[in-house]
Amino acid sequence: MTSRMRAEIGEQPDALRRTIDALRPAAAGIAALARETRQVLFIARGSSDNAAVYGRYLVESRAGRLGTPAAPSIATAYRRRLDLSGVLAVAISQSGKTEEIVETLDWAASCGARTVAVTNGEGSPLAEAAEVALITRAGDELAVPATKTYTTQLAALSVLGLGLGAQVDADDLNRVPDEVARLIEATEASPALGEIVEALARVPGAVVSGRGLAFGTALELALKIKEACYLHAMGLSYADLLHGPIAVVDAQTPALLIAADSGPTLPGTIALAERVRSAGAQAYGVGGGGGLAGACSAALPGPVLPEWTAPLGLIVPGQILVENLARRLGIDPDVPRGLNKVTQTD
């Protein structure tokens, strides 16, 4: 029987196509806000926070604007006023109903920020609170682990980047839906999928690492492994991994390494795979082209996309891996224990 999670993974090409087509015109509204701001503050939790990491790297590496993560507790617990003049506050929430995120966006506006919401919840409190709402077109998502709502958030953040003046070819976005459809088929046909699933089913956890624009993907894959498979998974930039935590990588703790097929962080990811294997541990790749695949014990294919849009596809093989691993472990991936679709925090 097909899980809801697997069905929703398969809906991503259409969800991405709808979202990109609907939101591309919104870049003009973002550009208007951009003229009155100089830096971007991202407000999010959970998978949305991992999407925000992609947004941060995108606006810094391609639009030349400082991007920073918000600490919502400054607004909701400490209730500290800050000078946010010149700041574009971008709040990200799948449902648009997480009270902490709505309250923090309201706080940012009261502190002088201009505001944008990224949400799948049209008419939600978050959408109503923002000056510009980027409403994703993922449709209803029934499985608790976010799949299509996550990738459509990345699409919305790509449009945000365009509005902020990212120096990229905007037409690259149009290639994403078809490439994700191809990638779903390629991943499920890959002999490496079963090999990696069996290997992860025999260990208590893994390290998941990427850098730059792929870092958010590594964090999201680590989160999915924890929430849907109940394994310990540490998501790290490979730069941080090399500063000590690499000591945990051993025969019982393999490394999952994530990279686009091009870009300045690819050589370092390949070198990390070689180092992991030379230490007697297993390294499994996602993306990174032939270079990373050749350095790893086994590797899943990645999207054939430029680095700035690659994260919209890079997470998809990881989603398929997690769904397969959960079922291999006898876990229903649709309803992980202790989790709800909308999470409220104080």
Our answer to whether residue 341 is catalytic in this structure is: yes
User: Of 97, 148, 226, 341, which residue is the catalytic one?
Assistant: 341
Continuous segment of H or E residues that includes residue 292: helix 289-295
CA dist., res. 59 & res. 119, Å (int): 19
Cβ contacts of residue 318 below 8 Å, gap of 6+? 217, 220, 221, 224, 256, 258, 286, 300
Pick the closest to residue 257 from 244, 241, 243 (CA basis).
241
Contact 224, 319 (CB under 8 A): yes
| Residue-wise burial string across 228-257, b where 16 or more C-beta atoms lie within 10 A, e elsewhere | bbbbebbbbbbeebeeeebebbeeebbbbb
Which regions of the chain does DSSP assign to beta strands (E)?
Answer: 39-43, 66-69, 87-93, 114-119, 132-135, 205-210, 232-237, 255-259, 283-287, 298-300
Contact 67, 40 (CB under 8 A): yes
Pick the closest to residue 236 from 253, 221, 251 (CA basis).
221
As given in the structure block, the two tokens for residue 331 are: 């876990």
Burial of 82 (0-12, 13-18, 19+ CB in 10 A): middle
CA dist., res. 190 & res. 93, Å (int): 33
CA dist., res. 181 & res. 10, Å (int): 8
Active site residue ranges: 341
